[in-house]
A and B are shown apart, each in its own frame.
Chain A
Amino acid sequence: MSGFLNAYLPHILTGISVGGQYALIAIGYTMVYGILRLINFAHGDVFMVAGLVMVYATASMPMYISIPLVIIATVLLGFVIERVAYKPLRSAPRMSVMISAIGVSYLLQNCALYFTGGLPQTYPVIPFISDSVTVFGQTTKMVTLITPVLTLLLVVILSLLIKYTKMGMAMRAVSKDFETSQLMGIKINSVISFTFIIGCFLAAVGSLLYFTNYQSVIPTSGAMPGLKAFVAAVFGGIGSIPGAVIGAFIIGICENLIKGAGWTTFSDAFTFVLLIVILLAKPTGIFGEKATDKV
Chain B
Amino acid sequence: MTKIEQKKSKKGTWIALCCIAALYVLLFLIDNVFPSTSFIVMLTPVLKKGAIYSLLCVSMNLLNGFTGLFSLGQAGFMLIGAYTYAIFTIPVAEHMSVYQYFDGGAIQFSIPEAIGSILGPTGGAFFGSIIAIILAGCVAAVFAALIGIPVLRLKSDYLAIATLGFVEIIRAVFQWNSLGVITNGSNQLRKYTAFSDMKLTIGGATLKFGTIFPFLIVMLCIIVIVLLINSSYGRAFKAIRDDEVAAEAMGISLFKHKMLSFVISCFFAGVGGALLAMFQTTIKAQSFTSAMTYEILLMVVIGGIGSVSGSCIAAFLYIACSEWWLRFLDSGKFLGLSVPFFRDGFRKVVFSVVIMIIVLFFSRGIMGDRELSFSGIAGGVKKLSGRLKKKDIEEKEDTGNE
Q: Are A and B associated in one complex?
A: yes
B158 near A114 with CB under 8 A, answer: no
Question: A215-235, CB under 8 A of B: which get 1 and which 0?
Answer: 000001001000100110010
B35 CB within 8 Å of chain A:
no
User: How far apart are the CA atoms of A100 and B361 in the complex, in Å?
Assistant: 11
Q: Which residues of A contact B360 (CB under 8 A)?
A: 84-85, 88-89, 100
Select A102's contact among B166, B175, B294, B349, beta carbons within 8 Å: B294
User: How far apart are the CA atoms of A172 and B156 in the complex, in Å?
Assistant: 23
Q: For residue B153, which residue of chain A has the nearest CB? A: A280
Q: For residue B348, which residue of chain A has the nearest CB? A: A110
Select B345's contact among A104, A105, A113, A272, beta carbons within 8 Å: A113
A104 near B301 with CB under 8 A, answer: no
Q: A89-B360, A265-B177 given as contacts; is B352 within 8 A of A106 (CB)?
A: yes
A111 CB within 8 Å of chain B:
yes
Q: A266-B176, A272-B168, A276-B151 given as contacts; is B157 within 8 A of A39 (CB)?
A: yes
Cβ < 8 Å to A, chain B residues 162-188:
162, 164-166, 168-169, 171-173, 175-177
B119 CB within 8 Å of chain A:
no
User: What count of chain B residues pass the 8 Å CB interface test?
Assistant: 48
Minimum distance in angstroms from A105 CB to a CB of chain B: 7
A240 CB within 8 Å of chain B:
no
B352 near A100 with CB under 8 A, answer: no
B93 CB within 8 Å of chain A:
no
B157 near A279 with CB under 8 A, answer: no
Cβ < 8 Å to B, chain A residues 1-55:
37-39
Q: Which residues of A contact B297 (CB under 8 A)?
A: 99, 102
User: How far apart are the CA atoms of A266 and B151 in the complex, in Å?
Assistant: 20
Select B349's contact among A84, A100, A110, A279, beta carbons within 8 Å: A110
Cβ < 8 Å to A, chain B residues 340-364:
343-346, 348-349, 351-353, 355-356, 359-361, 363
B154 CB within 8 Å of chain A:
yes
User: What count of chain A residues pass the 8 Å CB interface test?
Assistant: 46
B356 near A85 with CB under 8 A, answer: yes
B169 near A273 with CB under 8 A, answer: yes
Minimum distance in angstroms from A34 CB to a CB of chain B: 13
B245 CB within 8 Å of chain A:
yes
Chain A contact residues, majority secondary structure: helix
Select A269's contact among B173, B291, B295, B356, beta carbons within 8 Å: B173
User: How far apart are the CA atoms of A196 and B57 in the complex, in Å?
Assistant: 32
Q: Which residues of A contact B346 (CB under 8 A)?
A: 114
A110 near B345 with CB under 8 A, answer: yes
B298 CB within 8 Å of chain A:
yes
Question: A98-124, CB under 8 A of B: which get 1 and which 0?
Answer: 111011111101110110011000000
Q: For residue B363, which residue of chain A has the nearest CB? A: A96
User: How far apart are the CA atoms of A265 and B168 in the complex, in Å?
Assistant: 11
Minimum distance in angstroms from B105 CB to a CB of chain A: 19
Select B160's contact among A98, A109, A265, beta carbons within 8 Å: A98
A103 near B352 with CB under 8 A, answer: yes
B44 CB within 8 Å of chain A:
no
A98 near B356 with CB under 8 A, answer: no
Q: For residue B170, which residue of chain A has the nearest CB? A: A269
B70 CB within 8 Å of chain A:
yes
B169 near A39 with CB under 8 A, answer: no
Q: A89, A95, A234, A295 — which one has the most chain B CB atoms within 10 A of its CB?
A: A95
B345 near A114 with CB under 8 A, answer: yes
B172 near A265 with CB under 8 A, answer: yes
Q: A268-B172, A279-B154 given as contacts; is B356 within 8 A of A104 (CB)?
A: yes
Q: Which residues of B contact A95 (CB under 8 A)?
A: 64, 70, 156, 305
User: How far apart are the CA atoms of A51 and B355 in the complex, in Å?
Assistant: 25
B377 CB within 8 Å of chain A:
no
Minimum distance in angstroms from B184 CB to a CB of chain A: 14
Q: Which residues of B contact A271 (CB under 8 A)?
A: 165, 168
A184 CB within 8 Å of chain B:
no
A283 CB within 8 Å of chain B:
yes
B122 CB within 8 Å of chain A:
no
User: How far apart are the CA atoms of A114 and B168 in the complex, in Å?
Assistant: 26
Q: A99-B301, A106-B294 given as contacts; is B169 within 8 A of A272 (CB)?
A: yes
A-B contact pairs, 7 of them (CB 8 A): A102-B294, A110-B348, A111-B352, A227-B290, A231-B165, A234-B158, A266-B172
